[in-house]
Amino acid sequence: MKKAAKLVFSVVICLLVGAVGSIFTYSSIPNWYASLNKPSFNPPNWIFGPVWTALYILMGISLCLFWDRKTKSKKSYAIFSIQLGLNILWSIIFFALHSPFLAFIEIILLWIAILLTILNFHKVSKTAAYLLIPYICWVSFASVLNLFILLLN
């Protein structure tokens, strides 16, 4: 597969993960999420869409760079896939099931999966690994936010 096609495919896959997650998110924002007590450092709702879109694009570029190295590491691809699945699952647990407690447990698993992805990608492509650093930073912030929402409610 040509490089451009790999890049488009990788980015689209990651953006689709975001789209699936948003299906579970949007309907809860004006009602359930709006009714929650949130910490003072909670960002405005409009910031989440652009940030997540940028992060999904970075994930896609990272995946493409890793894939482009023609590595046959099934473990690395599996971990990347697991973190994508956990990404969607968090939205389901938090927004659709309205469970900040279970979502907090799940986001810790997501953070670990992202870290494992970074460590595995780093063995093959440092750039691919570095592109995931904003993602783990944002999920770190989201973990703290999730914890505070849990504690305040």
pLDDT tens digits along 91-141: 999 999 999 999 999 999 999 999 999 999 999 999 999 999 999 999 999
**Closest C-alpha among 75, 80, 73, 110 to residue 14:** 80
In this structure, is residue 144 part of a structural domain? Answer: yes
Which helix (H) or strand (E) is 104 found in, with range? helix 100-122
Looking at the 3D structure of the chain, how many domains does it have? 1
In this structure, is residue 116 part of a structural domain? Answer: yes
In this structure, is residue 41 part of a structural domain? Answer: no
In this structure, is residue 52 part of a structural domain? Answer: yes
In this structure, is residue 42 part of a structural domain? Answer: no
d(CA 26, CA 142) in angstroms, rounded, equals 17
In this structure, is residue 139 part of a structural domain? Answer: yes
Instruction: Give the chain's mean pLDDT.
Output: 96
Residue 56: helix, strand or coil by DSSP? helix
Q: Does residue 25 surpass a pLDDT of 90?
A: yes
Q: In terms of residue numbers, what domain contains 78? A: 3-35+47-152
d(CA 48, CA 136) in angstroms, rounded, equals 15
In this structure, is residue 148 part of a structural domain? Answer: yes
pTM of the model as a whole? 0.95
Q: Each residue of 27-57: pLDDT tens digit?
A: 999 999 999 999 999 999 999 999 999 999 9
In this structure, is residue 126 part of a structural domain? Answer: yes
Quickly count: other Cβ atoms within 10 Å of residue 50's Cβ.
Answer: 9
Task: State the CATH number of the domain containing residue 94.
Answer: 1.20.1260.100
Quickly count: other Cβ atoms within 10 Å of residue 88's Cβ.
Answer: 19
pLDDT at 71: 76
pLDDT at 1: 66
